[in-house]
Homo-oligomer: A and B are copies of this chain.
Amino acid sequence: VPVATIFDVAERAGVSIKTVSLVVNGQPNVSMKTRERVMKAVAELGYRPNYSARSLAGARSFLIGLFYDNPIPSYVTAVQMGAVACCRRRNYHLLAEPIDSSIEDVDMHIANLLTALRPDGLILTPLVSDNEIAMKRIEAFGTPYVRIAPGADRARSAHVLMSEIGAAETMTQHLIELGHRKIGFVKGHPQHGASHQRLEGFTRVMQAAGLSVDPDFLVQGDFSFQSGFDCAEKLLTAKSKRPTAIFSSNDEMALGAMSYAHRHGLSIPSDLSIAGFDDSPSAKVVWPPLTTIRQPIFEMAEAAAEMLIDGKTDPDPTGVRPFRVLDFQLIVRDSTGPAPR
């Protein structure tokens, strides 16, 4: 199918292709008159610049890569929708790159993508945002990147996050206010830096309230439903001392814990309160609906894409990298209630 090129536009508008290029790219220094003539020709011919040619000739590819490695579909989808929303407004496109960060070929995948496609920027979501190999490779190549919810070493790159600690503190406070004293905590995936912070928030508030954190009440999950189920078993199986509430580092594991409780005849929240983290769509779906923390995932991804496209990723003169902090929100539903007795 024949498509209008920059030459066709130039001819129709009676200018050189240079001028067309300036207009199409929104550069200043073109007279109003000329600009209008060009825009008219563009519209009439339905001209759209060829990305490959642009990328080859110029410094931009108009492509943003999104690397993700997160087993939760709702998270992945929300990130993507947010990033695409921004890309659309700016005429960029999004390359979806699922990464298995457990595999060593993260390195090769990334090298491939960078040298072959030359994206203008990269968004890294957990667990990739804490992946040393990935960051090293990207930095060596010099492509700008912004991390979403980095777990550590924040100064290393531009990033967008919410206060994981604050959110965990808020939830813990909520449980304590309901009268819970023995609270079990289900940790997230060990490589997910942000979930260490969630644990920290939990611990801080417990200690501030004068409540000891029993090591038996701290169990290691991996964000999966199954691990939530298993952790609940560990927490609830010791009859002598069992928690009256479980705070899980994400919703998926909270659902697993809930499923365990159901199977063993515990009713929620009268026997056991359960709280999650994420506000995934299933949080509203389960029975009873889950008390959780709303993460502004869509907005975080949107902000990340924006920083990239605006070129706002370099450190300022004092060496500080740009970052954006978005707000979380405690969502109280029916899965948490007053402590029994």
On chain B, the residues within 8 Å of A284 by CB distance are 225
Residues of B contacting A49 in the complex (Cβ-Cβ under 8 angstroms): 116
Contacts of A48 in B (CB 8 A): 111-112, 115-116
Question: Does chain B have a CB within 8 A of A3?
Answer: yes
A259 and B287 form a contact (CB under 8 A): yes
| Residue A56 interfacial (CB < 8 Å) | yes
Query: Is A285 positioned at the interface, with any CB of B under 8 Å from its CB?
Result: yes
Are A81 and B98 also in contact (CB < 8 A) when A52-B118, A285-B282 are?
yes
In residues 98-143 of chain A, which contact B (Cβ within 8 Å)?
98, 111-113, 115-118, 140-142
Name the segment of A29-37, A88-96, A162-170, A184-192 touching the other chain. A88-96
The majority secondary structure among interface residues of chain A is helix
Binds B, one of A72-80, A173-181, A195-203, A212-220: A72-80
Name the residue in A115, A141, A259, A285 with the highest tally of chain B Cβ atoms < 10 Å from its Cβ: A285
Which 6 pairs across A and B sit closest by C-beta, in order of nearness? A73-B77, A52-B55, A73-B73, A96-B96, A52-B52, A52-B56
Binding site for B on A (CB under 8 A): 1, 3, 46, 48-53, 55-56, 61, 66, 73-74, 76-78, 80-81, 84, 93-98, 111-113, 115-118, 140-142, 225, 255-256, 258-259, 262, 281-282, 284-287
If A66-B96, A95-B96 are given as contacts, then 12 extra A-B residue pairs at C-beta distance below 8 Å, sorted by A number, are: A1-B141, A1-B142, A3-B115, A52-B53, A74-B74, A84-B96, A93-B97, A93-B117, A225-B285, A256-B285, A282-B285, A287-B287
